[in-house]
């Protein structure tokens, strides 16, 4: 590496009660380098980033910035040192405009009264977004943006502060392929300007696409740093999980049973257009669509969260009306939401969350049957491998992958026959991902019909028996298993 060292961290150590989050981790970063930080959930990636960005104090260790030892006091101090962080959990304010979010806390002021100079605010925001090649109106409110656009706004905010070191915590977890490509393009541009990037990710495939070096953490320890040329997927997986994983997408063939679900002409004015599909027992139906294709609105309408304007739904051959999630659950539907937070009650315990969709079943005359609840929870904690120090742990204290498993257990507990998975692997690590796929296979084997909504091409291609491509609120193509290639699917996903 010819360029000079910009950041060095030595022996960084951090403990929480009961957890050694970081165990004497060393790390270095060169000017203009994109350094990928990999690790399973709970490996210590986020803790490390929080220490670098000043939002957590370290217990011990040294951080050197351009040869000078520094003590990063708080996030503001980190900004002053040229370290900017883009959070995994977006930190934007939904009710305000894009420009206001970009300049939050340092809006351009007009003399002499110190009132906000709006013209300046919007034009400077426009410039930053243009530099990024992002087509977002700076006057738009953040709550009207898609997840991907919010992420880009967040990056624009970081760049507006002239950072030399950009910390990105899973920036692509909410992005479509298209937006991801654009982000990579933007990052390469920044790299040419000498900005160094620490890039936390779960996606192995991204490592060679974007990084120069990759560091793997496991259980708070640094396992190693490799140049990307030496970091093939098998090596990285071995480093991350400390064991060989079987096939990443272990699809098993299941004979297709009788028809479970038929949808005819489902329409929501201006959003979903004349959608038709069938789903059979034991079938995994993939619906591939990019951001904004109508995937999630479709799932919400089908599950009774939102209303449809016209169309018919048949379950087991009987025409049904679904006007609330309660009715959908009664009919045997389960819905694993894209955003885990929408599916869980953070303050409640694991058992309470698992039985939430089956409250009637575990109640007798309105009273909870605590022992049955505990048994059900113990069963799913064991079967799904939910890692928790105690059964009655609140789910807010679980890692992302374990939260996802609790959310899934809720629908297993309610004995769903038709399961809707919206981006089931979003933001979870390789090991947990393989487990989720194994579970999907098991469920299909038991005759459950699964609708898998995803923007992950390899996952859809590997897991689905049949794939519908969605774009602009319509199904644009259908492929049987093994028929379509990534390119085919993508072609239909971008047509309008």
Partner 1 sequence: MVKNPSESGVSALGRVGTWVATPQLRIRLGIRIILVVAVLLFIYYVSTAPRFFSATNAINVGQRTAPDIILAVGQTMVIISAGIDLSVGAVVAFAGSLASVAYCYWGIPVGLAILMGLASGALLGLINGLIITKGRIPDFIATLGMMVTARGLGLLLTGGLPVPSHLTALTLKAYLPPEIIWLGSGTVLGFPAGPLIALAVVILGWVILKHTGFGRAIFALGGNREAARVSGIDVDRTKLLVYVLMGVLAALAGLVLTGRMNSANALMGDGMELQSIAAVVIGGTNLFGGEGGVIGSLVGALIMGILRNVLNLHNMQDFAQRVVMGLLIIGVVLFDQLRRRYGG
Chain residues in the site for partner 1 (CB under 8 A): 17, 57, 71, 73-74, 303, 305, 324-326, 328-330, 335, 337, 341-348, 352, 356-357, 359-360, 362-363, 366-368, 370, 410, 414
Taking the complex as a whole, the smallest distance from the CB of residue 469 to partner 1 amounts, in Å, to: 26
**Token pair in block for residue 449:** 């019909």
CA distances from 218 to 39, 58, 171, 208 (A): 6, 18, 20, 20
Minimum distance of partner 1 from residue 164's CB (angstroms): 22
| CB contact set of 298 (below 8 Å; sequence gap of 6+) | 266, 272, 275, 287, 453, 470
Residue with tokens 């961290």: 9
The CB-of-71 to partner 1 minimum distance in angstroms stands at 4
Taking the least distance from each CB to partner 1, the nearer of 134 and 408 is 408
Cβ distance to partner 1 smaller for residue 96 or 324: 324
Burial of 311 (0-12, 13-18, 19+ CB in 10 A): middle
Q: Which is nearer to partner 1, 187 or 328 (CB)?
A: 328
Task: Please identify, using beta-carbon distances, which residue of 57 and 194 lies nearer to partner 1.
Answer: 57
Please report how close the Cβ of residue 257 comes to partner 1 at its closest, in angstroms. Answer: 25
CB-nearer residue toward partner 1: 17 or 112: 17
Q: How far is the CB of 353 from partner 1 (least distance, A)?
A: 9
Nearer to partner 1, 227 or 346 (CB): 346
Contact 104, 158 (CB under 8 A): no
Residue 471: C-alpha distances to residues 183, 308, 319, 342, 394 (Å): 21, 18, 27, 24, 38
Q: Which is nearer to partner 1, 57 or 189 (CB)?
A: 57
Which of 358, 357, 353, 361 has the alpha carbon at shortest distance from 384? 353
User: Exposed, middle or buried, 443 (CB in 10 Å: 0-12/13-18/19+)?
Assistant: buried
> How many Å apart are CA 85 and CA 91, to the nearest integer?
11
Burial class for 473, CB neighbours closer than 10 Å (0-12, 13-18, 19+):
buried
Burial class (CB in 10 A: 0-12, 13-18, 19+), 230: exposed
Q: Which C-beta is closer to partner 1: that of 17 or that of 389? A: 17
- In the complex with partner 1, the residue whose CB is nearer, 121 or 337, is 337
Cα 136 from chain centroid (whole Å): 22
Residue whose C-alpha is closest to residue 5's, from 163, 209, 165: 165
User: Nearest approach, Cβ of 270 to partner 1 (angstroms)?
Assistant: 23
CA dihedral 480, 483, 486, 492 (to 10 degrees): -60
User: CA geometry: angle at 107 spanning 103 and 110, to 5°?
Assistant: 155
- DSSP characters over 361-423: TTEETTEE-HHHHHHHHHHHHHHTT---SSTT-BGGGS-HHHHHHHHHHHHHHTT-SEEEEES
Task: Tell me the C-alpha distance between 255 and 81, whole Å.
Answer: 60
Nearest approach in angstroms of CB 326 to partner 1 is 4
- Judge contact between 45 and 200, C-beta under 8 A: yes
Q: Is 3 left (phi over 0), alpha (psi -120 to 50) or beta?
A: beta
279 phi and psi, to 5 degrees?
Answer: -140, 135
- Nearer Cβ to partner 1, position 19 or 352? 352
Give the shortest CB-121-to-partner 1 separation in angstroms. 31
C-alpha span between 349 and 404 (Å, rounded)? 14
Q: Residue 66 CB, nearest distance to partner 1 (Å)?
A: 18
């Amino acid at each position: 590496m010819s360029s000079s060292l910009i950041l060095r961290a030595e022996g960084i150590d951090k403990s929480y009660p009961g957890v050694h989050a970081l165990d004497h981790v060393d790390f270095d970063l060169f000017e203009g380098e994109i350094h990928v930080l990999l690790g399973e959930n709970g490996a210590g990636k986020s803790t490390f980033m929080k220490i670098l960005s000043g939002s957590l104090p370290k217990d011990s260790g040294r951080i050197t910035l351009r040869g000078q030892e520094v003590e990063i006091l708080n996030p503001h101090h980190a900004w002053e040192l040229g370290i900017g962080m883009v959070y995994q959990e977006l930190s934007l304010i939904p009710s305000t405009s894009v420009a206001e979010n970009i300049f939050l806390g340092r809006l351009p002021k007009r003399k002499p009264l110190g009132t906000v100079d709006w013209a300046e605010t919007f034009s400077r925001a426009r410039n930053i977004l243009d530099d990024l090649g992002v087509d977002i109106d700076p006057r738009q409110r953040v709550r009207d943006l898609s997840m991907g656009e919010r992420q880009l706004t967040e990056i624009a905010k970081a760049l507006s502060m002239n950072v030399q070191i950009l910390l990105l915590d899973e920036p692509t977890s909410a992005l479509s392929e298209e937006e991801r490509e654009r982000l990579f393009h933007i990052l390469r541009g920044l790299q040419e300007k000498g900005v160094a990037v620490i890039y936390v990710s779960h996606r192995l495939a991204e490592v060679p696409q974007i990084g120069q070096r990759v560091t793997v953490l496991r259980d708070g320890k640094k396992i190693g740093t490799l140049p990307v040329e030496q970091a093939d997927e098998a090596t990285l997986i071995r480093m991350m999980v400390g064991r060989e994983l079987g096939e990443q997408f272990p699809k098993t063939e299941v004979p297709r049973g009788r028809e479970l679900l038929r949808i005819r002409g489902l329409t929501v004015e201006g959003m979903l257009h004349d959608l038709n599909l069938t789903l059979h027992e034991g079938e995994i139906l993939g619906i591939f669509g990019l951001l904004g294709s109508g995937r999630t609105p479709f799932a919400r309408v089908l599950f009774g969260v939102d209303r449809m304007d016209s169309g018919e739904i048949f379950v087991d051959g009987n025409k049904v009306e679904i006007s609330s999630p309660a009715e959908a659950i009664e009919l045997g539907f389960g819905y694993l939401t894209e955003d885990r937070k929408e599916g869980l009650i953070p303050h409640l315990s694991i058992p309470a969350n698992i039985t939430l969709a089956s409250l009637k079943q575990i109640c007798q005359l309105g009273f909870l049957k605590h022992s049955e609840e505990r048994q059900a929870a113990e069963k799913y904690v064991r079967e799904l491998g939910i890692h928790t120090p105690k059964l009655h742990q609140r789910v807010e204290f679980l890692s992302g992958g374990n939260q996802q498993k609790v959310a899934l257990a809720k629908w297993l507990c309610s004995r769903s026959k038709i399961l809707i998975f919206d981006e089931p692997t979003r933001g979870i690590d390789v090991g947990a991902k393989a487990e989720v796929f194994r579970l999907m296979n098991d469920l299909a084997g038991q005759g459950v019909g699964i609708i898998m909504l995803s923007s992950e091409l390899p996952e859809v291609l590997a897991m689905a028996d049949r794939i519908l491509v969605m774009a602009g609120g319509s199904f644009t193509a259908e492929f049987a298993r093994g028929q379509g290639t990534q390119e085919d699917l993508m072609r239909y996903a971008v047509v309008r």
